[in-house]
Amino acid sequence: MFEKFYSERIKNTPSSFIREILKVTQSPDIISFAGGLPNPISFPQEELKISMNRIADKYGSKIYQYSTTLGLDSLRQYIVDRYKKLWGMNITIDNVIITTGSQQALDLIGKVFVNEGDNVMVEKPSYLGLLQSFCLFKANFVTTKLNEDGLDIEDLKNTLKLHKPKVAYLIPNFQNPTGLTYTKENREKVFECIKDEDMILIQDDPYGELRFEDNERIPYIGMNQSDKNIYLGSFSKIVTPGMRLGYIIAHKEIIKELETAKQASDLHSNIFGQYLISDYLYNNDLDKHIEKIKALYKSQAKAMTGAMEEYFPKTVKFTYPKGGMFTWVTLEEGKDVLTLFDKAINKKVAFVPGHPFYVNPDKVNTLRLNYTNADSETIKEGIMRLSEALKEI
Amino acid sequence: MFEKFYSERIKNTPSSFIREILKVTQSPDIISFAGGLPNPISFPQEELKISMNRIADKYGSKIYQYSTTLGLDSLRQYIVDRYKKLWGMNITIDNVIITTGSQQALDLIGKVFVNEGDNVMVEKPSYLGLLQSFCLFKANFVTTKLNEDGLDIEDLKNTLKLHKPKVAYLIPNFQNPTGLTYTKENREKVFECIKDEDMILIQDDPYGELRFEDNERIPYIGMNQSDKNIYLGSFSKIVTPGMRLGYIIAHKEIIKELETAKQASDLHSNIFGQYLISDYLYNNDLDKHIEKIKALYKSQAKAMTGAMEEYFPKTVKFTYPKGGMFTWVTLEEGKDVLTLFDKAINKKVAFVPGHPFYVNPDKVNTLRLNYTNADSETIKEGIMRLSEALKEI
């Protein structure tokens, strides 16, 4: 009815495939591995209640008033201090802008960098939220192969040479959807390949703090060696997603452009939430809280991979995540994951078919499983149901 | 340094003129009429503190978890009920999407409707946030003249005929920046002109509830008579702006497209804030609260127009707002408002020069004054200072 009024960009944006999936999966008798929800145990509810009362008493009307586009200084300072401590990054608050969740970080970066038709390099598969976001800016996606240890270097070289991407978007830690992590060696090789390219490198890292296997923290690609690096982070997976608070770390000139884009997008992010999270972070031990989340997710991940080992046919492959929230399952070549989806829904278990994670989904035989939002018993039961469905395709 | 990477759209977005202005005006000895801040008295702090504790106890982890893109059902239902009561609108929650402030409403509408070069009709002058937002979508702005009683009908007819705008953006109540309101008769004439046009009409109304002169509520243009009408509203001026909560009311097919755009923009608005404001609204008398704000703003507006009558030279014209937060001052033809701005800063008083409110600012002799964020004594003192500055240009 309003078709003639709609913009080209919205007509080209992929329909809400995953939203439709999630609707099917909301029935209470379905075990759903389809979402990407953190376990509610990762929300420090008692501490947040203390903090909200404290900020109401301490800051009065300020927590309700308009505020600055870049975000609350104390929160930006916390991020600066943490990245200095963890990574030795030489940054100040001028390198940080608070965003309305990481999803807005993608929107702002798209606004600032992506002209119609610009080549944007993404992993195959990549995060569906990025594909959707940059689709609005009519990016031309080019893909590069993702292996067990990170990017396929030969394929990367070819992609760079052939497409000269202006922007690359990578998720080096516990990637969404695959759960894969780039090794240290792979990151070094990737940086060797890209360091002389005219290319902005975005490293999205919502899950990096949630490494539950091995204790090694692996530095970002080209960390502290490139002005063209942009880092995304978020409080969604380690404190609360409901506040919609993420951040971008970048060169301060880039931050200025992002500020202009953000002013036009939502003026600033919820300031109450910024005061709340800032107060929580300065008055509690975040690392201790993260340890709890990690222990939980580790047991949940093990429950899932253990059950898959036990019940899945050997022809079905899956990843062993070392952190984060997802594992990625690959069916035998030629099997159709949408057929499996229908069978699985009949058996009362749900997942996300691989489609929305590909630029050109075609003969998709992959699927994403989330393990963070069900207990180990439920996970085992869900995997058993899924293995029954697998027998029917 | 990063110039070659930036998008065309961000290069064309007006630099942060008003942000620079606000920096100059933040010195504590300056009386500033430059901002657009609600008076902190408009924040029901005690009631919000009660509500935040109540929702923490009542809803537990839900107030911290990911939520739906369209927004919290109870908050959408409150909006439906209020617009039914006030305006007899025949709507359901399917006609409502919650946005991260009204600024995001503009961003989403731009994404859904505006192709590069599309003609968008705005008042002359118009809200700078809209100009900045749609600039990112490379809209081609066409302007239509705003008079004391609303749009100049002859000029409107010419603009429609000449430019066939695809989208119109109007602020019929206590417009920002001018403080002007369209009369009932004017609204009817405007609708007569536009009703057969192929044009989406956006009516932005952040201040409509703040009518402090006359008690008449004037219906929107073409209200309940057009599927192409889109209404914007906000809790910023009547409860709190810091939560960044606004909304769009539109045909449900349009809401679906806006939902896709919002999913790509920030997934959803802060859900804690939505629970908080919803709880506040259902447990308090909003109309009673608004009466308090109106009484305050009325006295502040009178203090400002009264002082301008007393101290300004008769050659200087200004509007008498019947609500909202601003008055608009016009200097004698040929006078330069930037010269006045410099003189005023020397006298320790600040305002926003008219420039950012025009599509093509040229020989600007207008300025915006905000009266909601200073007490009557301070307003008088500021206007006296400004009248001294006026003598020097």
Return the C-alpha torsion angle B250, B252, B258, B264, nearest 10: 150
pLDDT for residue A41: 85
**B257 vs A: CB within 8 A:** yes
Q: Say whether B15 and A260 touch across the interface (CB within 8 A).
A: yes
pLDDT for residue A21: 73
Task: Show the tokens assigned to A248.
Answer: 């971008």
For B8-49, how does the pLDDT look when each residue is reduced to its tens digit (9 = 90+)?
999 888 766 666 676 777 788 999 999 889 999 889 999 999
Architecture of domain A63-283: 3-Layer(aba) Sandwich (3.40)
- Within 8 A of A271 by CB-CB distance, chain B residues are 242, 244
Classify A64 as helix, strand or coil. coil
pLDDT for residue B216: 84
Return the C-alpha torsion angle A304, A305, A306, A312, nearest 10: 100
Q: Which residues of chain B have pLDDT under 70?
A: 15-20, 22
**B380 vs A: CB within 8 A:** no
Task: Please report the sign of the dihedral spanned by the C-alpha atoms of residue A158, residue A161, residue A162, residue A163.
Answer: positive
Nearest CA in chain A to B200: A5
Between residues 158 and 217 of chain A, which touch chain B (CB distance below 8 Å)?
A: 166-167, 198, 200
pLDDT for residue B6: 95
Q: Which residues of B225-249 are buried (b: 16+ CB within 10 A; e: fewer)?
A: ebebbbbbbbbbbbbbbbbbbbbbb
**A267 vs B: CB within 8 A:** yes
pLDDT for residue A19: 67
Secondary-structure class of domain B66-283 per CATH: alpha beta
The beta-carbon neighbor of B40 closest among A15, A65, A271 is A65
If you count them, how many residues does chain B have?
A: 393
Task: Show the tokens assigned to A181.
Answer: 């992590």
Q: Say whether A244 and B270 touch across the interface (CB within 8 A).
A: yes
pLDDT for residue A1: 85
Q: What is the pTM of this model?
A: 0.97
CATH for A3-43+288-391 is: 3.90.1150.10
B102: which residues sit within 8 A by CB, 6+ positions away?
B129, B204, B206, B232, B233, B234, B236, B246
Distance (Å) from the alpha carbon of B104 to chain A's nearest alpha carbon: 5
Residue among B137, B135, B133, B134 at smallest CA distance from B115: B137
The beta-carbon neighbor of B113 closest among A6, A60, A266 is A6
**B19 vs A: CB within 8 A:** yes
- Within 8 A of A20 by CB-CB distance, chain B residues are none
ipTM: 0.96
The beta-carbon neighbor of B260 closest among A16, A236, A253 is A16
pLDDT for residue A16: 62
The beta-carbon neighbor of B254 closest among A2, A104, A244 is A2
- Within 8 A of B8 by CB-CB distance, chain A residues are 115
Q: What is the DSSP string of B98-119?
A: EESHHHHHHHHHHHHH--TT-E
For residue B125, is the peptide bond before it cis, meaning its omega torsion is within 30 degrees of 0? yes
Classify B138 as helix, strand or coil. coil
Q: Say whether B5 and A113 touch across the interface (CB within 8 A).
A: yes
Q: Do A221 and A191 contact (CB within 8 A), yes or no?
A: yes
pLDDT for residue B17: 67
- Within 8 A of B234 by CB-CB distance, chain A residues are none
**A52 vs B: CB within 8 A:** yes
Nearest CA in chain A to B60: A45
Distance (Å) from the alpha carbon of B296 to chain A's nearest alpha carbon: 17
pLDDT for residue B353: 95
Domain ranges of chain A: 3-43+288-391, 63-283
For residue B321, is the peptide bond before it cis, meaning its omega torsion is within 30 degrees of 0? no
Distance (Å) from the alpha carbon of B221 to chain A's nearest alpha carbon: 20
**B280 vs A: CB within 8 A:** no
The beta-carbon neighbor of B10 closest among A38, A111, A227 is A111
**B267 vs A: CB within 8 A:** yes
Nearest CA in chain A to B59: A45
CB pairs under 8 A between A and B: 248
**A38 vs B: CB within 8 A:** yes
Q: Say whether B10 and A260 touch across the interface (CB within 8 A).
A: yes
Q: Which residues of chain A have pLDDT under 70?
A: 15-20, 22
Nearest CA in chain B to A228: B2
Task: For tokens 């300072």, name the residue.
Answer: A77
Q: Say whether A49 and B56 touch across the interface (CB within 8 A).
A: yes
**A254 vs B: CB within 8 A:** yes
Q: Are strands B366-370 and B326-330 parallel, antiparallel or unpaired?
A: antiparallel
pLDDT for residue B14: 75
Which candidate in B16, B61, B278 is best for mutational testing of the A interface (most A CBs within 10 A)? Answer: B61
Residue among A292, A291, A295, A389 at smallest CA distance from A342: A389
Q: Do B266 and A268 contact (CB within 8 A), yes or no?
A: no
The beta-carbon neighbor of B266 closest among A1, A65, A104 is A104
**A3 vs B: CB within 8 A:** no
